[in-house]
Amino acid sequence: MYRFADPEYLYLLLIIPLLAYRYWSKRGLGGGRIRFSDIGIIKRVGQTRKQMLRHGLFLLRLLFIALVIMAFARPQSGSKMRETSTEGVDIVLAIDVSSSMLAEDFKPRNRLEAAKKVAKKFIGGRQNDRLGLVVFAGQSFTQCPLTLDYGVLMTLLESIRVADKNWDGTAIGMGIVNAVNRLRDSKAKSKVIILLTDGVNNRGQVDPVTAAQIAEAYNIKIYTIGAGSRGTAMYPIDDPTWGRRYVTMPVEIDEEVLKRIASITGAKYFRATNTKKLSAIYKEIGEMEKTKIEVKEFTRYDEYFVWFLGAGLLVFMFELLLTNTVFRKIP
């Protein structure tokens, strides 16, 4: 970006065509005169190259004036600078991986696969936020601590599977406590847990309401999602003799507890009955928990008047040198 800091001086450039007109209209006048009886021979001789180049002195003078005027106008070159400050959001995704998440009332396959697919889309839409992943069934584990490396987080998310029979169950309170433990020392503007479950708390040493009160003490919001169709859902059972078969099981989600958890922490409860609804819920939460980004733009200018002034002085000295040497007039 180029500009002149004092562009009003550029109006002085209008004197250059006036000086040129005055010079060309008066050339040949005002010099010394010698009388000849016949000037035919002189006319046939014409002007020498040296005489023609003498006009270059005047052009150098005009160039000097133009450069000095432009120097007074202060030419500048600017470059845009940007300062970006962010107030990020720290988010932990707490996902139920109990065996009931295999129920196939969500497409394309089951609740867990749908939750993974939607969570990956949610992660891909975040910027400048630290995200973590906690899984829980009968116990709770940290799958990924808070990180800005979304690629690693997505890989670890894709690797989660339903719990085996040794730690099956639904310990919602323990899932919350584990997620709180990841967020309690965070300095982020907003600290959020997005908890997804399809069942009723039946395991763990900490009940969900107590865990929510702990989260509230650390100023952590918990958005709760109940995942499952209403009524019944088809659940796969792998029989070693007859192979895979499906049984119909009732959908039991403790919505009252999930609503209370969200209310205690100043958040919101959602019910997802299919993949489309689940995706809309994550999108809504993402809109509510946006990262604040402030961008300040300013332009830094470098002064170039000294280059124009220096060039003008060089032109003036060159003209002075030619005037007193090559084109010197003999009185």
- Specify the pLDDT at position 103: 96
Phi/psi of residue 84, each to 5°? -120, 125
Instruction: Report domain extents, the chain.
Output: 2-27+47-80+298-323, 89-290
- Specify the pLDDT at position 57: 79
- What is the C-alpha separation between 188 and 221, in angstroms, rounded? 13
- Specify the pLDDT at position 174: 97
Q: Which amino acid is at 150?
A: Y
- Enumerate residues 6+ apart whose C-beta is below 8 A from 37: none
Q: Percent of the chain having pLDDT more than 90?
A: 53
Tokens of 124: 């891909």
Closest CA relative to residue 316, chosen from 69, 59, 61, 17? 61
Return the CATH number of 89-290, one of 1.10.150.170, 3.40.50.410, 3.10.105.10, 3.90.550.10: 3.40.50.410
Helix, strand, coil shares of the chain as percentages rounded to 5? Answer: 45, 25, 30
Instruction: Please state whether 231 falls in left (phi above 0), alpha (psi between -120 and 50) or beta.
Output: left
- Specify the pLDDT at position 82: 64
For residues 274 and 228, the answer to whether their CB atoms sit within 8 Å is: no
pLDDT tens digits, residue range 267-315? 999 999 999 999 999 999 998 887 665 556 667 778 888 888 888 889 8
- Enumerate residues 6+ apart whose C-beta is below 8 A from 212: 176, 222, 260, 261, 264, 265
- What is the C-alpha separation between 171 and 199, in angstroms, rounded? 9
pLDDT tens digits, residue range 89-126? 999 999 999 999 999 999 878 999 999 999 999 999 99
Closest CA relative to residue 170, chosen from 190, 192, 195? 195
- Specify the pLDDT at position 283: 94
- What is the C-alpha separation between 272 and 279, in angstroms, rounded? 9
- The tens place of each residue's pLDDT in the chain, 331 residues long, gives 778 888 898 888 888 888 888 878 876 555 555 565 555 555 554 555 656 666 777 888 888 888 888 888 888 887 766 665 566 799 999 999 999 999 999 987 899 999 999 999 999 999 889 999 999 999 999 999 999 999 999 999 999 999 998 999 999 999 999 999 999 999 888 999 999 999 999 999 999 999 999 999 999 999 999 999 999 999 998 877 777 888 999 999 999 999 999 999 999 999 999 999 999 999 999 988 876 655 566 677 788 888 888 888 898 888 888 777 776 765 5
Tokens of 326: 């090559």
- What is the C-alpha separation between 106 and 134, in angstroms, rounded? 21
Q: What sign does the dihedral 196-199-205-207 (CA atoms) show?
A: positive
With 0.75 as the threshold, say if the pTM is over it: no
